[in-house]
Structure 1
Amino acid sequence: MNKIVRPLLAVLLSVTGIVAATAQPAVAATESTALAPGLVLSSSTATLPAELSALATGKRIQYLSTSITGSAITATGLILTPRTGKKNRTVAWAHGTTGLADQCAPSTNQAVFWPEARTAVAELLSRGWTVAATDYPGIGTPQAHPYLIGASEGRAIIDSVKAARNLDSALTPQYVIDGHSQGGQGALFASQIAPSYDGNLVLKGTSSIAPVSNTDTIVPLIPGTAGQGYLVMALYGLNAVDSAVQPSAILAPPAKAKVGVLSSGCLNEILAAYENLSATQLLVGGTVPDAVLAKFVQYDNPAQTAPSAPILVVQGTEDEAVPYFVTADQLIPQLQAYSQPVTFVPIEGATHDTSVIESADLVADWIAARFA
């Protein structure tokens, strides 16, 4: 490692909370090695859920990514290598909401490696594709998690593919993204930023299952419902990138009294903590201020710029978290306004989670066609 890279790496590891002595880059650093997004800082053998361990070996990695302002940050995730198949194509799996805290990283906490995610990833592995599965920034790393900040998710997703190729030089530059919910939103953002961000990678397509979109429609529907924990997390996600959004000034006292669950629990605990509050117990005045709603639009809504590869959107008609009409009547026309082909597949009777399970084969077939 040259005299410039070594101290820079040491400083970066220090400020991001990674102990330099434990960092084991899988690709030996040379004088030409840059501290570029996707650089693997450390790698260790991962313990996988039983549904996946028979299909793949896994590495838990820490890798470089960038914030939405362009500063260097770290992220964690899994690189899953199938036991059979050509293994030379990569699918980036972008998971649905798990929480905000470090213990909510699917790479280390199998309890939040949701059953639907296991089904989807198992199908990808069975096709012989390497799977890069980011935890997203701030889940497993010191910084706050920018929950639902699409440009943050998109960078972490793309950089996980770069990290996979840094671990395995046999992987081709071609990749496809497959995401659910938060990850479906992140997948769409990754497609938007790929031409300026993914370097020599070649994005062949994006599958997006029940993606978060049009938050200016969804957010006003949440107060007073069982999904209020999502809104609390989303406010803190905005705060992670925009200090003008102060959750303490937006949340009502009963809601503020429960914010400790954001650091002590994960999704299910957060939803349970907030599900029984009334709208006025959740928010001052019972509604999200218009200025904050505008911030959600700015940071969270995909389809504001053009995607760069074909898109598959899957949506359950009985989705309780992302309303079907938001995807069918708003997001799909927004995506169709651009030049990339858009395939929309409604799943009759499917919920937010069962849509992933019921579409696993369909999604994998669509991905195979992109690689073909």
Structure 2
Amino acid sequence: MKTLFVRRFAAVVAVVIAGILSTAVPAQARLGTGTVLLSTSATLPPELEPLATGTRVTYVTTAIDGTPIPATGLVLTPKTGKTDKTVVWAHGSTGLADQCAPSSNMDVFWPEARAAIAKLLQKGWTVTAPDYPGLGTPQDHPYLMGMSEARSIIDSVKAARALDATLSTQYVVDGHSQGGQGALFADELAPAYDGGLVLKGVASIAPVSNAQIFAPLVPGTPGNGYLVMGLYGLKAVDKTFNPNTVLAAPAKQKTSVLRTGCLYEILDAYASLTAEQLLNGGALPQPVLDELALYVDPAQSAPSAPILLVQGTEDEAVPYGLTAGALLPELQAYDQPVEFVQVDGADHDGAVFATVDTVADWIAARFG
């Protein structure tokens, strides 16, 4: 009963905050991005409880169109050996609904995220873990819309500094899958958006990229649910787009799971559909692919800080060739250094587990 009350209270607070932020007064004249609207003590996973004190925050970020909106996340402060540096952990896919926010649902605080964050805390770094807009707040979640993720990633650092004045302006972003993609977008956005913060580097593990290549490979595979979520993510930023215009009837019959379930329930619901049962004609129309690429693909503009790109060779969710053969040369075309780490035999989550030390050491060098 207590948990239900807390969730309902938090939902009411979020609605009130959204109403305040949606008024016609310019955002900067009211509350700057990263302003903490609400903070409460957070229960952490058992792997992290001995290492950190957790605070769940609701803070101000912006939608892609610049509208101020609330976002939620965690700020984890090391219990011992604390430095003045901050690292953002940008999580992989969890779902679309409010119950899929990792800051309030330990079931989607994935094991690989816990392992990565534990290593960061052991280095003495404060860790922010944003949920992304629409997870735990009233808006629809713009799943895989990179500039949405990037804003909440950067603003989570501002929120941490609002809580802890000893934190410096230096930060690094460490992300996996959806979060790896968001980390790369943050690298592009930072100079124009972070307001005096100093981004020292971005570690991106198995990031989503190149929708024109990737999306056509998905229909008829166990990853069908990712594509459905991506279409609803597009709908969140383009109100003229209706996923029902491209989803086939069997797929449309399953869309209630997007509201009632999280990642694995969504994947299970769509896994058995053929390409023709998923999409009208078995494929996405080219204009939809073009628009997805516009919002989903990193490396469309220059990064502002060095990049560590990590990819497992046996990744079942983000193909190795997509990262090594397409994204890597796209990033290398810019001036920032890109270090590529190939993890032989590692699957999607295994690449995180296998490189917790490698990533932490690389981050330490950036701060050093």
TM-score, scaled relative to structure 2: 0.93
Counterpart position of 1:144: 140
Using the TM superposition, give the Cα deviation of residue 112 of structure 1 relative to its aligned residue in structure 2, in angstroms.
0.3
Contact 1:17 1:141 in 2 (8 A): no
Partner of residue 309, structure 1? 305
Given the superposition, is the C-alpha separation of residues 160 and 52 from structure 1 closer, same or farther in structure 2, using an over 3 Å criterion? same
Q: Which amino acid in 2 is paired with 1:369?
A: A
Letter in 1 for 2:39: S
Superposed counterparts of 1:1-372, under 5 Å: 14=16, 16=18, 34-372=30-368
Residue 4 of structure 1 corresponds to none
Contact persistence 2:14–2:70 (CA under 8 A)? no
Task: For residue 50 of structure 1, give the secondary structure of its aligned residue in structure 2.
Answer: coil
Secondary structure in 2 aligned to 1:53?
Answer: coil
Deviation at 1:88, TM superposition (A): 1.2
| Structure 1 unmatched runs, 5+ | 1-10, 20-31
In the alignment, which residue of structure 1 is the partner of 2:24?
none
Structure-2 separation of matches of 1:18 and 1:74: 10
Deviates more, 1:73-82 or 1:85-94: 85-94
Counterpart secondary structure, 2:76? strand
Runs of 4+ residues over 3 Å off in structure 1 = none
Cα separation, 2, equivalents of 1:177 and 1:70: 22
| Contact 2:17–2:70 (Cα < 8 Å) also in 1 | no
Structure 1 residue 245, shift from structure 2 partner: 2.1
1:249-304 CA distance string (max 9 Å, x none): 11001000000000000000000000000110000000011000001110000000
1:154–1:189 Cα contact (<8 Å) kept? yes
Task: Give 1:57 deviation, angstroms.
Answer: 0.4
Mapped to 1, the partners of 2:130 and 2:17 lie a distance apart of 21
Are the structure 2 counterparts of residues 156 and 279 from structure 1 closer, same or farther at C-alpha, using a change threshold of 3 Å?
same
Partner secondary structure for residue 51 of structure 1: coil
What SS class does the counterpart of residue 65 from structure 2 fall into? coil
Q: How far off its partner does 1:87 sit?
A: 3.1
In the TM superposition, residue 122 of structure 1 has moved relative to its aligned partner by 0.4
Code of the aligned partner of 2:174: D
CA RMSD of aligned residues (A): 1.6
Secondary structure of 1:52's counterpart equals: coil
1:291-333 deviation line (CA, Å, top 9, x unaligned)? 0000111000000000000000000000001000010011010
* SS, match of residue 349 in structure 1: coil
Q: Percent identity?
A: 64
- Cα distance between partner residues in 2 of 1:245 and 1:184: 26
User: Could you tell me which residue of structure 1 aligns to residue 10 of structure 2?
Assistant: none
Shift in Å at residue 118 of structure 1? Answer: 0.4
Q: Please state whether the residue corresponding to 1:63 is helix, strand or coil.
A: strand
SS of aligned partner of 1:211: coil
User: Aligned equivalents of 1:14 and 1:363: distance in 2?
Assistant: 39
SS in 2 for 1:60: strand
Q: Is the 8 A contact 2:89 2:129 kept in 1?
A: yes
In structure 1, distance between residues paired with 2:203 and 2:30: 31
Note the C-alpha offset of 1:200: 1.0
Aligned counterpart, 1:29: none
Say whether the 8 Å CA contact 1:75–1:135 is kept in structure 2.
yes
Once residues 318 and 18 of structure 1 are traced to their aligned partners in structure 2, the CA distance between those partners, rounded to angstroms, is: 47
What is the CA-CA distance between 1:233 and the residue it aligns to?
A: 0.2
Q: TM-score, normalised by structure 1?
A: 0.92
Deviation at 1:124, TM superposition (A): 0.3
- Number of residue pairs the alignment of both structures matches: 350
Partners of 2:325 and 2:37 in 1: how far apart?
A: 43
Match of residue 27 from structure 1: none
Alpha-carbon distance between aligned partners in 1 of 2:78 and 2:30, rounded to the nearest angstrom? 29
Cα gap change, 1:116/1:16 in structure 2, threshold over 3 Å: closer, same or farther?
same
Query: How far off is 1:246 after superposition?
Result: 1.1
**Aligned partners of 2:141 and 2:15: how far apart in 1?**
18
Cα drift, residue 34 of structure 1: 4.9
Q: CA deviation at 1:243?
A: 2.1
In 2, Cα distance between equivalents of 1:197 and 1:63? 16
**Separation of aligned partners in 2, 1:332 and 1:173:** 29
- Whether the 8 Å CA contact 1:205–1:311 is kept in 2: the answer is yes
Return 239-248 or 273-282, whichever deviates more: 239-248
Q: Give distance in 1, aligned partners of 2:137 and 2:335.
A: 37
Distance 1:36 1:83 in 2: 29
